[in-house]
Structure 1
Amino acid sequence: MPKLRAFEISPLPLEVQASLEHLGQRIAKERKARGLSQRELADMAGISAQTMMFLEQGRPTVQIGHYARAAWLLELRDVRLLGGLSVHAE
Structure 2
Amino acid sequence: MKKSSDTAMFPLEAEDAVLLMGKKIRMARRIREMTQQHLADGTEMSLNTVVKMEAGHPGVQFGFYLKALWALDLIDDFTSQLRNVGINETEFSLVESNLPKTVRKKLKR
Shift of 1:78: 2.4
Once the two structures are superposed, what CA deviation does each residue of 1:27-75 show, in whole Å capped at 9, x if it has no partner? 0000000010000001101011111000000101110000011011111
Match of 1:46 in 2: 44
Match of 2:31 in 1: 33
- Report 1 or 2 for greater relative contact order, CA contacts < 8 Å, sequence distance ≥ 6: 1
Instruction: Please tell me the residue identity of whatever aligns with 2:22.
Output: G
TM-score normalized with structure 2 length:
0.64
Structure in which a larger fraction of residues adopt strand? 1
Match of 2:67 in 1: 69
Unaligned ranges ≥5, structure 2: 1-5, 86-109
Q: 1:61 aligns to what SS in structure 2?
A: coil
Two-structure CA RMSD over aligned residues (Å): 1.8
Taking the aligned partners of 1:69 and 1:47, their CA distance within structure 2 comes to 9
Taking the aligned partners of 2:31 and 2:38, their CA distance within structure 1 comes to 13
Q: 1:72 aligns to what SS in structure 2?
A: helix
Taking the aligned partners of 1:42 and 1:62, their CA distance within structure 2 comes to 13
- Over the matched positions of the two proteins, sequence identity in percent amounts to 34
TM-score normalized with structure 1 length:
0.76
Greater than 6 Å deviation, 4+ residue runs: none
Taking the aligned partners of 2:22 and 2:35, their CA distance within structure 1 comes to 14
Unaligned ranges ≥5, structure 1: 1-6, 85-90
**Which has more radius of gyration?**
2
Taking the aligned partners of 1:13 and 1:73, their CA distance within structure 2 comes to 28
Taking the aligned partners of 1:13 and 1:75, their CA distance within structure 2 comes to 29
> May I ask how many residue pairs the two structures share in their alignment?
76
